[in-house]
A and B are shown apart, each in its own frame.
Chain A
Amino acid sequence: MRRAYIEIDVERCKGCGLCINACPQRIIRFSDKFNSKGYHPAEQYDPDEKCPGCGFCYMMCPDTCITVFKAVQPVR
């Protein structure tokens, strides 16, 4: 069951890759799409629901694009 996920404000994103570099689960990648600034924004790709909500991506994002959501009830 999904424990956590992230949302990325794609319009703020500048495609620097610092979040991708910081993610221990390797579940962030660049989107094929462009945002209006012309960058390929980051997106979470987590089909196996591995994200524990560690926040590393948020901590490293220089443009405050990332919000991390965690399940209110801890999943066993």
Chain B
Amino acid sequence: MEFTAVYKMPDSLSKKPFTYCPGCHHGIVHRLVAEVIDELGIREKTIIVAPVGCSVFAYEFFNTDGTVAPHGRATAVATGMKRARPDLVVFTYQGDGDLAAIGTAETIHTANRGERVTTIFINNAIYGMTGGQMAPTTLLGMKTTTSPYGRSPEREGYPVHMCEILKELKGVAFLARTKVTTPKDVLTTKKYIKKAFLAQTKDIGYGLVEVLSTCPTNWGMPPIKAMQWLEQNMVVEYPLGVFVDKVGEEK
């Protein structure tokens, strides 16, 4: 009996082992991005702009060109690269601290300008890399090292909904929020990531996919419990779905 590999490591990953904690969703999303790059046949002309955060070494994990931007500045760096080399495909990979706190201005204006770049946004409601501080996306009542009694709206404000803010900006061509806690979610997320890249390669505008992700380590939960917590809490605060789609269905 002859067998053939039907699911395997995508070519667009470097094969270096990821530096993420056990069960961390960063790894699933990396693989999905790499699968999309493979399927679009753009590996040789793609550049990743990594953020500061747990995915600071993301450029090491992709078998593409890549760099890392100062904290929050990934879309500004990507803008420069894409404008200098419009023939290339440029994407940023950013956490919620990076994209929705220190990088809020860059995020909003890159989207508003409709830069032909793509952003993968990992919302794990926390600053993972630095040890679990409150993020703008931290849920109300959620305990972090900087909100030890739970986030209160009076003290720390409300969770920031980036998709709901960005959807009003005319430069956005694809915008969706998703999760990767089940195989079905994984397939949906891959479809969205592909569209966010097509928004760029078809010269339509800015594409962003927000992925609700677990941080088992800083949430203080085993990986599977963290996925249940995400389903029961994050999905309630952050509704899933497509907010903007100017890409349409693939022929």
| Known interface pairs A63-B18, A63-B27; A18-B3 also in contact (CB < 8 Å) | no
Cβ B8 vs Cβ A62 within 8 A: no
Q: Which of B43-51, B110-118, B179-187, B242-250 lies at the binding interface? A: B179-187
| Interface residue ranges of B23-37 to A (CB < 8 Å) | 23-28, 31
Cβ B224 vs Cβ A18 within 8 A: yes
Cβ B22 vs Cβ A15 within 8 A: yes
Question: In the complex, A72→B2 CA distance in Å?
Answer: 6
Q: Using Cβ atoms and an 8 Å threshold, which residues of chain A touch B2?
A: 71-73
Question: In the complex, A69→B31 CA distance in Å?
Answer: 18
Is A8's CB within 8 Å of the partner chain B? no
Q: Using Cβ atoms and an 8 Å threshold, which residues of chain A touch B1?
A: 1-2, 71-73, 75
| Interface residue ranges of A33-76 to B (CB < 8 Å) | 39, 53-56, 58-64, 66-73, 75
Is B158's CB within 8 Å of the partner chain A? no
Q: Using Cβ atoms and an 8 Å threshold, which residues of chain B touch A2?
A: 1
Question: In the complex, A69→B5 CA distance in Å?
Answer: 4
Q: Using Cβ atoms and an 8 Å threshold, which residues of chain A touch B4?
A: 69-70, 72
Cβ A71 vs Cβ B3 within 8 A: yes
**CB of A73, distance to nearest CB on chain B (Å):** 7
Candidates B7, B17, B21; contact of A66 at CB < 8 Å: B7
Footprint of B on A, CB under 8 Å? Answer: 1-2, 4-5, 12, 14-18, 21-22, 39, 53-56, 58-64, 66-73, 75
Ranked nearest first, the 10 interchain pairs of A and B with the lowest CB-CB distance are A62-B27, A16-B23, A14-B22, A58-B7, A68-B7, A16-B22, A69-B3, A56-B183, A72-B2, A59-B186
Supply 25 A–B pairs (Cβ within 8 Å), ascending by A: A1-B1, A5-B3, A12-B17, A17-B23, A17-B223, A18-B23, A21-B224, A39-B22, A58-B8, A60-B180, A60-B182, A60-B186, A62-B22, A62-B23, A62-B26, A62-B27, A64-B9, A64-B18, A64-B27, A66-B7, A70-B4, A70-B6, A71-B3, A72-B1, A72-B4
- A62-B22, A64-B9, A69-B3 known; 10 new pairs, CB 8 Å cut-off, are A4-B6, A12-B17, A14-B22, A22-B182, A53-B6, A58-B7, A59-B183, A62-B23, A69-B4, A72-B3
